[in-house]
Amino acid sequence: MRRAGFALIGAVALLAVLAPVLTPHAAHQRFADRAYAPPMAVHLIDGQGAWRAPFVYPIVLADRLERRYEEDRARPVPLAWFSGGVIVRLADESRGPWLPLGADGSGRDVLARLLHGARLSLAVALLAALGALAIGTAVGGLAGSAGPVLDEVLMRLSDFVLVLPAMYVVLSLRAALPLVMPPAQVFALVAGILALVGWPIVARGVRAVVAAERERDYAQAARALGAGRARLLVRHLLPAARGFLATQATLLFAAFILAEATLSFVGLGFPDPSVTWGVMLQEAANVAAIADAPWTLAPAAAIFLVVLGVNLAAQDAARL
């Protein structure tokens, strides 16, 4: 199951990296008369039952008020491979765009936004998880190897952060800062806030491991051979916590994906035209739209798959 989890995470990450060559449209590109357009399936058999190269039927807006679309089966459009810098696209785009996962309420390609949005969502979660691990490892290692006074101070600080409702703290910190900021600043800010609320549990776990390991024979032998406190901590004690850190890395990564989605959903995330899975869910937060265009919930399915993969991968992470 662990391999399946890593394979799932790797597949999503690979799709995000290859987003520019997998989608023929930009994430912010709008198409007139394509609001909530349905997904356009690829066909191999035409209306006469004959096999042919992959093609799609272009769609036309049959009723604007009902947002009803119909396939134009008179002239199917073949797919062009490795053309225009992308893997696959329509051979004749004058008949309209190809929307494999349909369009959102603004007529934008859901697949393009899903894959490009994965880049920001996964990058923020990864950076925040690494930041939380770095802070937590430093604080926990120092507390576990230092004297009782510093240990007590650092652990009470972690307790104070732990008892706070993490999501409310994140929302409050973000809301207290300017709402309109460049995307790069929002990226660093969100990652930093998430790291600040995620380090205490890492610190407490690392502190427990270090405090237990420093009394073992190999640590006593290293100390007797003249190893200083810093060398003993870095070379001998912290490596014993790698299984715990691997588990926390996977759990924090999944939690931070959900946290970023929550921030963006309530309007405290990335500004337009930046796109993340949370931004897409915010745009899809309409009961009528969800009923008529369920494909706009594709980012929710993507988040579920990543979180599932992370939890599968975390099952045996402690054995590392």
Residues 223-274 pLDDT 10s? 676 666 777 777 777 888 888 898 899 889 989 999 888 888 888 888 778 8
Helix locations, the chain, DSSP H: 2-17, 19-22, 110-145, 148-163, 166-175, 183-213, 217-224, 229-231, 242-265, 277-283, 287-292, 298-314
Query: What would the pLDDT profile of 72-104 be if each residue is shown by its tens digit?
Result: 888 899 999 998 889 999 988 888 899 999 999
- What's the half-sphere exposure (Cβ side, CA atoms, 13 Å) at 85? 5
pLDDT of 288 reads 61
Question: Within 13 Å, how many C-alpha atoms sit on residue 6's CB side?
Answer: 7
Collapsing DSSP to helix, strand or coil, 70 comes out as strand
Write out pLDDT tens, residues 165-188: 777 778 787 777 776 778 888 898
pLDDT at res. 18: 92
Domain annotation for the chain: domains and CATH numbers: 40-98 (no CATH), 110-319 (1.10.3720.10)
pLDDT(317) > 60: no
The pTM of the full predicted model, rounded to 2 decimals, is: 0.86
